[in-house]
Structure 1
């Protein structure tokens, strides 16, 4: 079985690198300077206790496929449709992405779709290099068939992931874990907007409390922080890596790169969508969604706002 990792950035690069170290065939799909470095030098995978350059084949677009290929999508959600468009719908697709919209997007074209809940702290400090901060394992990955269940392929993927540096787990209710992860990811926009300052945690908890009300009203199940702590334990603790400054989360990194886009429509915006469907106001997450998009569109730096500014916008929206 060969794994084609579409979007071999921080998360995709770590997954691809660890699969390759476990003895599996892997192809990394990337673009721009990152692709050029991967093609020329291989993937440099740095962890808290090792540095290794891996000669993994890389491409900047579709390659001829085989019947035993598995597509692992690790792009941002806003790029999912374009990322999957060139690939054969006969292949299985694993959505190793934040949010809960990707699986449904993929299922329109692909019959075999798998959700993957990703706990994996990583970043790209330079083109061709991935720094995976998790220790003793780089990440823990829950895999299940979408919308539910576990089949032979899910079992095989989890086994393959667990061969080197990752923890693979099958979950028949993988989307319940992804909704729980979504609650955590609502803080991504807060971090991107205000940075790590006093008041950030309070804003993040406002967003999560609002979201729990929405999910409860909609009857959508999600795991609790206590369940996550029990399963995760200290298997994926984020540790410093010498010579690599730890950046913020994925949304923070999008602003730092000046990419012009951010994933908030599919994180905070997912809560807004469900709230509208079930008649629950969502002023906190709507404000975070709008402001994150504005800051990304204007290519402003992370931490461009203060918590008080964000709070004032939330209060104004709540009163409207």
Structure 2
């Protein structure tokens, strides 16, 4: 398959290596020193005791690569406005485009069942118009990545979860008829070493990941600690449980009751700096709006009190604002 990874950073670079080594025609969109290193040496993935290297076509613009079979938009949500204006050359009439961003995502309201509460108006949803100018809704796949990665050096990706690398994909329209196509695509991911189970309802999967991120990732950011720091401190463990319980209430109020146990999820936290903390430390734009403030907006739309989440949101928003790492218009007044 012709596969373009739009954003060959931590997770995108990891998957680019695995898919290229599985025999696919892989191209990547990157920038700066990372792009220069990929062009000169290819991509190197360090995972456990293994070092995997792959040569991939690379550039800073999608225009030269043409229509693809699959595009994986592996950037952070903060880069999506630029990508919406640039992605067109990669999308043909049969191209599938996967969006596996953390947090609340642009396509959530597109095809949302009429029986579900109307979501609040938040900035990320404004991207539906430009993206759907470049692709049809039936070409869009929601994605959820469970894989702990970081860019160790330009052109070098370090995977911190060798036994736990997964990308769940599903149509954003539950009535989609692409079951056979998706089964084949998941099989290709599996053969490349990327677990890809069927998540069922993709919005429920989004809420599952979001509830996890708004708990462990935000506490890790606020305390400058790996995610499992919330498990190692009794007071932080209780804060984690409270935030997660509030997140479960928000999801249920919007039509997605989740069978998640806070203690079980606490026990699974990895000794890994979440992307929020990585971005903060490296002075990169942060997904605070999508991971933290979006659930606050959903809670207020459903008239649910979330005192612990509100506190965490105020703290991490202040941290990001002080470094100029979030947009001025966040869509929520704290």
For the aligned pair, the TM-score class normalised by the smaller chain equals 0.7 to 0.9
The answer on whether the counterparts of 1:179 and 1:221 sit within 8 Å (CA) in structure 2 is no
The two structures, once aligned, show a CA RMSD in angstroms of: 2.7
Question: What does residue range 21-170 of structure 1 map to in structure 2 within 5 Å?
Answer: 21-88=21-88, 90=92, 91-104=95-108, 105=125, 107-108=128-129, 109=132, 110-111=135-136, 112-136=139-163, 139-148=165-174, 149=176, 150-170=178-198
Corresponding residue number in structure 2 for 1:215: 251
Alignment-derived partner of residue 17 in structure 1: 17
Q: Alignment partner of 1:170: what SS?
A: coil
- Match 1:274 to one of 290, 298, 319: 298
**8 Å contact 1:37–1:128 — kept in the other structure?**
yes
Choose which of 234, 252, 258 in structure 1 pairs with 2:277. Answer: 252
Q: Is the 8 A contact 1:247 1:253 kept in 2?
A: no
TM-superposed deviation, 1:170: 2.7
Q: Deviations over 1:278-305 (max 9, x none)?
A: 11123332332332232123239xxxxx
Aligned residues: 286
**2:122 aligned residue:** none
TM-score, normalised to structure 1's length?
Answer: 0.80
Any stretches of 5+ residues in structure 2 without a counterpart? 109-124, 325-333
State the distance in 2 between where 1:223 and 1:207 align.
15
Change (3 A) 1:65 1:42: closer
Q: Contact 1:176–1:223 (CA<8 Å) still a contact in 2?
A: no
Partner of 1:192: 221
Q: 1:130-180, CA deviations, whole angstroms, 9 ceiling, x for partnerless residues? A: 0112233x5112111113355343223211111122112233312212211
- Once the two structures are TM-superposed, the CA of residue 225 in structure 1 deviates from its matched residue by 5.2
d(CA) in 2 for partners of 1:124 and 1:250? 11
CA shift in 2, pair 1:133/1:247, >3 Å? closer
Counterparts of 1:255 and 1:288, CA distance in 2: 15
Cα 1:48/1:225, change in 2 over 3 Å: farther
- Once the two structures are TM-superposed, the CA of residue 84 in structure 1 deviates from its matched residue by 2.8
Q: Aligned residue for 1:307?
A: none
Q: Which residue number corresponds to residue 177 of structure 1?
A: 205
Are the equivalent residues in 2 in contact too, given 1:95–1:102 (CA < 8 A)? no
SS of the residue corresponding to residue 104 of structure 2 reads coil
Shift of 1:118: 1.1
1:285 to 299, 309, 324: 309
